[in-house]
Structure 1
Amino acid sequence: MHNSIQKLSLEKNEIHLWYVYPNKIKQIDLLNAYHALLTPDETQKQQRYKFEKDRHSALITRAFVRDLLSQYVQIKPESWRFEKGEYDKPEIKDPPLPLRFNLSHTDELIICAVTLQDDIGCDVENMTRDNDVLGIADRFFSKKESEELFSLPLTQQRNRFFDYWTLKESYIKAWGLGLSIPLKDFSFDIGVNENNQVNHNIQLSFAQHRIDHANVWRSWLFYPNDKHRIALSVRAKNNNQNSQYKMRFFNSTPLISYKESTGF
């Protein structure tokens, strides 16, 4: 099992987006090694899931984040400890580096976004799941977003719904406040996508009563395949609208290897 001597560097204004395909990891000895990384509390939470596929995903997720954090610092994966931060968001306890991370998982794909110092949120969704996306949009999206969504041809509405939904999830996850922030209180304006893999032409605005500042936020949409949608939001300490962010992507098999890629 791997133990990188050369640690990854993470520069300011650099975002590392890690991903793992949990369904590809079936080896019993490797899964046992993942179990050995977890604290008793994490094991208890992982075992609470009713379905085996959810227990499997939870196990991979916990091993995944421990392993990837150990690529930056000389700390063993089993030695990381986590605590709830200011807004109940999981944070590293006594971090040797100001690493900030956020996890998201769905069927067949788990992601983790890592940066330095700034608040970060990410979300991945399976767009084939069976739910009333237009009813959800009508009920929870801002007026501006709903109008834009319903103005599109029917064939485009489902994809646009997941554009908005993942962006909104990434925003509230960056805050760490969950759905205590009403989804109608902030709006995304999704500009023309100039790249098949990522759209960074995205603007954020707020309802008059919501206290926040658009100039400290940056958001991105990723299109890894026809099945999944990914969004990422960063809340910087200062104005970051003109900051040049560098994205790096890493495909991981926890405890075995990782590979830098040009995307998903």
Structure 2
Amino acid sequence: MDFPELSRERHVLIFVARTHAIDARELARFAAALSEEEAARAEKFLFFPNKRDYVIAHSLLREILAHYAGVPASDVSFVRNRFGKPALARDARLQFNLSHCDGGVAIAVGFDMRIGVDIEDASIARARYADIAAQYFSDIEQAAIHAAADGFARFIETWTLKEAYLKAIGLGLAKPLADCRFVWRDDRIVRFRDVTQADAHAHAWAFGAFAVDARYRVAVAVDASGGACSIELVRAGATGGARPLQASVVCRSPDLRFAHDACCV
């Protein structure tokens, strides 16, 4: 893969890949790059699409981390916190996060800042999503879903922001989704609050949510306590190659910048 440069100065790369075109024969090549533990877990999936997404996501992650850490992919190893969030065992400065869902993969990497990423399929409305929102979303978030032209897309966009934040802080679903709240209007500037934290906590985080194509929504959460950061979206080919990815901005924090003007519109 031709990797873009990753600056050590408040820069995040988000790699997005689609896995639908990979068949069982091609998948074996990706599986060869996995660790024994990852390979064993892959074999536990009952359905091929789930196994495919897992194998490709973790194979790509190894390739990406190996490049930016400057080590062979076979030397990439992980440690996990008590909530299961992985980190590199040898280079804690290189931060990353991974998400995969229904044929889509998203991997975010950057130096010296906590990062969370989530990808979700917004193409087919799921039954009872309004009931899920009633359980996990604030009244204002629910009102925005009901008012949106595409209520399910708004639900997914809000969900991805929540997931990205919970993954960035290393708690995952051990922290209630209802604790973090996201609201944006026509200006596409997102307002964030964690109800368990002081108001100043909101300014320590930067967020972006994007429609990367007609099907997928991707959200990223970045620790902005060290200052404003820039992001760059990259389309990673599951069979090799990488190129800039132009995406539509759903919402973003005011201090989130784009590395290239053509990155997001």
Structure 2-normalised TM-score?
A: 0.83
Distance 2:118 2:218 in 1: 6
Alignment CA distance shift 1:84-1:189 (3 Å):
same
* Equivalent of 1:247 in 213, 231, 255: 231
Partner of 2:155: 161
Runs of 5+ consecutive residues of structure 1 not aligned to the other structure: 194-198
Partner of 1:78: 74
After TM superposition, give the deviation of residue 147 of structure 1 in Å: 2.9
- Determine whether 1:45 maps to 2:19: no
Equivalent pair of 1:68/1:254 in contact (CA under 8 Å): no
Structure 1-normalised TM-score?
A: 0.84
After TM superposition, give the deviation of residue 19 of structure 1 in Å: 1.4
Partner of 1:170: 164
* Equivalent of 1:139 in 116, 135, 138: 135
Distance 2:209 2:128 in 1: 22
Partner of 1:190: 184
- The root-mean-square deviation of aligned C-alpha atoms, in Å, is 2.4
Alignment CA distance shift 1:73-1:179 (3 Å):
closer
Distance 1:117 1:87 in 2: 20
SS at match of 2:213: coil
Equivalent pair of 1:7/1:72 in contact (CA under 8 Å): no
After TM superposition, give the deviation of residue 38 of structure 1 in Å: 1.3
Alignment CA distance shift 1:161-1:255 (3 Å):
closer
Runs of 5+ consecutive residues of structure 2 not aligned to the other structure: 248-262
Distance 2:55 2:29 in 1: 10
Distance 1:182 1:86 in 2: 17
After TM superposition, give the deviation of residue 64 of structure 1 in Å: 0.7
After TM superposition, give the deviation of residue 107 of structure 1 in Å: 1.4
AA partner of residue 187 (structure 1): R
Distance 2:75 2:66 in 1: 9
- Determine whether 1:20 maps to 2:20: no
- Determine whether 1:61 maps to 2:45: no
Partner of 1:196: none
After TM superposition, give the deviation of residue 136 of structure 1 in Å: 0.6
After TM superposition, give the deviation of residue 247 of structure 1 in Å: 2.0
Partner of 2:250: none
Equivalent pair of 2:144/2:154 in contact (CA under 8 Å): no
Alignment CA distance shift 1:121-1:17 (3 Å):
same
Partner of 1:179: 173
Alignment CA distance shift 1:129-1:160 (3 Å):
closer
Distance 1:184 1:14 in 2: 29
Distance 1:55 1:142 in 2: 34
AA partner of residue 69 (structure 1): L
Percent of residue pairs identical: 24
